[in-house]
């Protein structure tokens, strides 16, 4: 972060016509945006949502309430403008980029092989990095991939300990049998990959997926390009958590946008020391929570940049 | 509420391209807006924020970190467009109406007399009712009044039990002495008014204020005019809670917009059975939290109205 920009933001905040701290986390957001954009005043008028889509071999094991073909169908829905994220983007004036990552080539079933080869994971990370361009005000990251809450739960277990039961949740809405299957395949995967999972990047390769590796890449690129990042729900946070495990400071330019209804998310955001901005029982993915939270960042930046100071408005300061 | 509009909203929600419940509280908001507007599709493009300002006799007792003159200065700041609420309104396309309620005539010090006379409280309620016009999509209510978190805490204690210490908080940021003074004047007021406080409307008259009575009036008028309401923080919720105490269904067309940093607010929203939409450590008043939450309502309505159905998008539904 840029300390000078952060300091300028803090100094201005102290002069604005409100009691100190009265805008709560909106104040935190304005300083955070300035610090990571390395610029004051901060900007948030034009967020960009990037949604990466990938397919998962594990989907064939009955871990989702929806068939794997829905990944491709939902990508078409994004392109046609009919999905939730399209409406949410329009609501805040955000752009939307959707990246289809070889949907005809799902990952390998991670209970019997690494999900991705070395080449595949590097290609996906690089792909995600290229999705970020300089000049984006705020990057909202999200994913679409039938089966990927199972991948995310497996990654979270590998990174932070625990079993399939600790991390598996209903995802798109599996029944009790489906939930038991999710927990079981996660445990199988943890046993199969064993000590190789001590390396966080191997967790991404062996248990993750194309879209999850792309998210990790986009997070890294955004930091270099001075773009603050809003992370969506469980799968997106799990992808980013790989970087946190390598270096806990690696996500300082990221905020978890919302607390997902997916139960593992609460545990996961606790593990990486984040407090989500929203808590609305959402569990959709496709960057929906991140885009929704970008409206809060816009509000924070609008208040910070547009408010009058005590001196400008002729408002009395605290009684001495 | 209109059951038919609510049912149409629920039926459409079930067809949209997302797993059931995946938009969480955004789904609840879309149905709620339709029900209380008695119309489907629901509308939220143009919220209106109404901020009522009043002065309080109790302010002379040292219960605020700011002098009472700040109420009038902040009204001027609202009119000039320099306050937080102005920027937050612009951010979501909301209108803003500011009502100065006889700032030169503060309420009486409620430790020794009723804050308002019978005539004054009725006039203030009627004033608040007239502020609501038909055709408003969403009404965001807020207040400005140095000393009014003390009035709100006294009202909450009278309505729901407890002492000054249970309900007083830092407000604009009083120190420990100021906080002790707040608790003490509340206890004095509870003792002075005694059994008269068993009547919720007497709580409003004896402990409230012009702007708080106006909020209660606006809440009632909005219901008759089919306008869903977003309540701001502690003072605004306390004003509305008077109506809840008369009839717990009286606030069904209202949502508490955010959980204030003011500690009494958590207790108060629990008492009236609400779960705030946002929790961002804000404590500014002036409708700031309500306007911020109106962006969530807009997102909910945009998603509800704009998303494609499974049939329209050709997306497979759940596996049978």
Q: What is the CATH number of domain A44-297?
A: 3.40.50.10210
Query: B44-298 architecture in CATH?
Result: 3-Layer(aba) Sandwich (3.40)
Under a CB-based contact definition with an 8 Å cutoff, are residues B153 and B186 in contact? yes
Instruction: Indicate the DSSP class of residue A140.
Output: E
Output the six-digit token pair for A185. 């395949």
pLDDT single digits (tens) A210-245 = 999 999 999 999 999 999 999 999 999 999 999 999
Would an 8 Å CB–CB cutoff place B41 in contact with chain A?
Answer: no
Has residue A295 got a pLDDT over 70? yes
Whether A27 is a known active-site residue: answer: no
Output the six-digit token pair for B267. 């207790």
Under a CB-based contact definition with an 8 Å cutoff, are residues A154 and A167 in contact? yes
Question: What is the rounded average pLDDT for all residues in chain B?
Answer: 97
CB-CB neighbors (< 8 A) of B305 in chain A: 87
pLDDT single digits (tens) A191-203 = 999 999 999 999 9
Cα A266 from Cα A238, distance rounded (Å): 11
Over range A72-91, report the average pLDDT.
97
Task: Label each residue of chain B as H, E or C.
Answer: CCHHHHHHHHHHHHHECCCCCCCCHHHHHHHHHHHHHCCCCCCCCCEEEEEEECCCHHHHHCCCCCCCHHHHHHHHHHHHCCCHHHHHHHHHCCEEEEEECCCCCCCCCCCCCCCCCHHHHHHHHHHHHHCCCCCCCEEEEEEECCCHHHHHHHHHHHHHCCCHHHHCCCCCCCCHHHHHHHHHHHHHHHHHHHHHHHCHHHHHHHHCCHHHHHHHHHHHHHHHCCCCEEECCHHHHHHHHHHHHHCHHHHCCEEECECCCCHHHHHHHHHCCCCCCECCCCCCCCCHHHHHHHHHHHHHHHHHHHCCEHHHHCCCCCCC
From residue A100, alpha-carbon distances to A103, A124, A134 in Å are: 7, 11, 22
In three-state secondary structure terms, A19 is coil
Cα A320 from Cα B11, distance rounded (Å): 59
B152 closest CA partner among B106, B189, B195: B189
Cis peptide before A193 (omega within 30 of 0): no
Would an 8 Å CB–CB cutoff place A294 in contact with chain B?
Answer: no
pLDDT at B273: 98
Buried/exposed B20-58: b ≥16 CB within 10 Å, e otherwise: ebbbbbbbbbbbbbbbbbebbbbbbeebbbbbbbbbbbb
pLDDT single digits (tens) B141-159 = 999 999 999 999 999 999 9
Q: CB distance B83–A20 less than 8 Å? A: no
Q: Tell me the domain boundaries of chain B.
A: 44-298
Q: Which residue of B25, B69, B77 is in closest CB contact with A280? A: B25
Cα B253 from Cα B42, distance rounded (Å): 14
Residue labelled with tokens 């019997």: A112
Output the six-digit token pair for A32. 């955070």
Return the residue of A nearest to B26 by Cα: A280
CB-CB neighbors (< 8 A) of A93 in chain B: none
Has residue A320 got a pLDDT over 80? no
Would an 8 Å CB–CB cutoff place B303 in contact with chain A?
Answer: yes
Under a CB-based contact definition with an 8 Å cutoff, are residues A220 and A3 in contact? no
pLDDT at A195: 98
Cα B118 from Cα B213, distance rounded (Å): 11
Would an 8 Å CB–CB cutoff place A295 in contact with chain B?
Answer: yes
* Catalytic choice (A262, A286, A312, A319): A286
CB-CB neighbors (< 8 A) of B313 in chain A: 73, 76-77, 80, 82-83
Output the six-digit token pair for A234. 């469980």
pLDDT band at A134 (very low <50, low <70, confident <90, very high): confident
State the CB neighbour count (10 A cutoff) for residue A103.
18
pLDDT band at B319 (very low <50, low <70, confident <90, very high): low
pLDDT at A319: 61
Based on its alpha-carbon atoms, the radius of gyration of chain A, rounded to whole angstroms, reads: 20
Over range B194-217, report the average pLDDT.
98
Over range A111-130, report the average pLDDT.
98
State the CB neighbour count (10 A cutoff) for residue B63.
27
- A vs B, Cβ pairs < 8 A, gives 203
pLDDT at B90: 98
pLDDT at A113: 98
Question: What is the rounded average pLDDT for all residues in chain A?
Answer: 97
Would an 8 Å CB–CB cutoff place A74 in contact with chain B?
Answer: yes
Has residue A311 got a pLDDT over 60? yes
B172 closest CA partner among B265, B63, B296: B63
Has residue B121 got a pLDDT over 70? yes
Output the six-digit token pair for A195. 């000590």
Would an 8 Å CB–CB cutoff place A310 in contact with chain B?
Answer: no
Over range B236-264, report the average pLDDT.
98
């Amino acid at each position: 972060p840029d300390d000078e920009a952060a300091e300028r933001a803090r100094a201005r905040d102290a002069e604005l016509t409100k009691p100190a701290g009265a805008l709560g986390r909106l104040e935190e957001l304005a300083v955070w945006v300035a610090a990571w954009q390395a610029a004051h005043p901060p900007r948030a008028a034009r967020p960009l949502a990037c949604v990466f889509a990938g397919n998962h071999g594990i989907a064939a094991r009955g871990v989702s309430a929806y068939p794997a073909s829905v990944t491709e169908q939902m990508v078409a829905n994004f392109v046609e403008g009919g999905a939730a994220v399209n409406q949410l983007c329009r609501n805040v004036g955000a752009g939307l980029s959707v990246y289809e990552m070889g949907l005809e080539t799902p990952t390998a079933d991670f209970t019997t092989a690494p999900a991705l080869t070395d080449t595949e994971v590097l290609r996906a990370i690089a792909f995600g990095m290229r999705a970020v361009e300089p000049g984006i005000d705020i990057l909202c990251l999200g994913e679409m991939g039938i089966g990927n809450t199972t991948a995310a739960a497996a990654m979270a277990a590998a990174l932070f300990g625990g079993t399939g039961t600790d991390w598996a949740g209903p995802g798109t809405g599996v029944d009790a049998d489906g939930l038991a299957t999710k927990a079981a395949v996660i445990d199988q995967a943890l046993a199969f990959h064993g000590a190789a999972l001590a390396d966080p990047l191997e967790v991404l390769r062996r248990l993750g997926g194309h879209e999850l590796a792309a998210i990790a890449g986009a997070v890294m690129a955004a930091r270099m390009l001075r773009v603050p990042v809003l992370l969506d729900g469980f799968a997106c946070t799990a992808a980013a958590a790989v970087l946190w495990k390598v270096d806990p400071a690696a996500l300082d330019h990221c905020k978890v946008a919302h607390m997902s209804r997916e139960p593992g998310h609460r545990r996961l955001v606790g593990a990486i020391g984040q407090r989500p901005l929203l808590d609305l029982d959402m569990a959709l993915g496709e960057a929906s929570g991140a885009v929704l939270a970008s409206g809060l960042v816009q509000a924070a930046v609008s208040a910070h940049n547009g408010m009058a100071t005590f001196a400008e408005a002729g408002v009395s300061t605290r009684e001495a």
